[in-house]
Amino acid sequence: MSEDLSHLKYPAAPAQVIPSFWVEEVEALREFYLEKLGFGHMMGIVGKDGKFDFGIVRRDGIMVMMGRPQSPGAGIARGQAGARPLDIYFYVPDVDAFHDEVRSRGVAVTEALATQWWGDRTFAVKDPYGYSLWFCQTVGAPEPPPGVTMV
């Protein structure tokens, strides 16, 4: 008989994309999202060794999953050091307020808060594993620079 997990209330919309990061230490990444980015704990799985094997955090409708490989060669993080070859964009209700909150928690901003020509206001941080996390809010219509054509 399977365990009733209905209390978890996965609110993912049909078109929602949920990033899932494979990392060596789930707890380090989970703490970054909880303590530095203000996400809330949604659920976790603790392994036989007492460490997190998997976790989900959530904020403003954004969900992020994280897990550690359970066998040699499983997951993309195994054996990789340095920056990860992926940027993640998260749309938030108020990017300016979120920027201020993140900075007040001591997070280094790697790409300054700025309004982009495509109409989004953005800034970026890096997580403990080197992933670039962009936070965005659409604030206007695109205004392509000279020589750029939107199709």
Residue 80 has what pLDDT?
54
Mean pLDDT, consecutive 10-residue stretches, the chain (151 aa), reads 51 72 94 98 95 96 92 56 75 97 98 96 95 95 92 88
Q: DSSP state, 6?
A: G
The reported pLDDT for the residue numbered 77 is: 45
CA dihedral 135, 132, 113, 148 (to 10 degrees): -90
pLDDT (0 to 100) of residue 70: 78
Output the pLDDT for position 53: 96
Q: Domains of the chain by range and CATH?
A: 17-73+81-138 (3.10.180.10)
Whole-angstrom CA distances from 116 to 1, 13, 112, 134 are: 52, 27, 11, 13
Provide the pLDDT for residue 3. 52
- The two beta strands, 87-91 and 132-138, are parallel
Residue 20: its pLDDT value, please?
A: 92
Fill in the amino acid letter for 100.
D
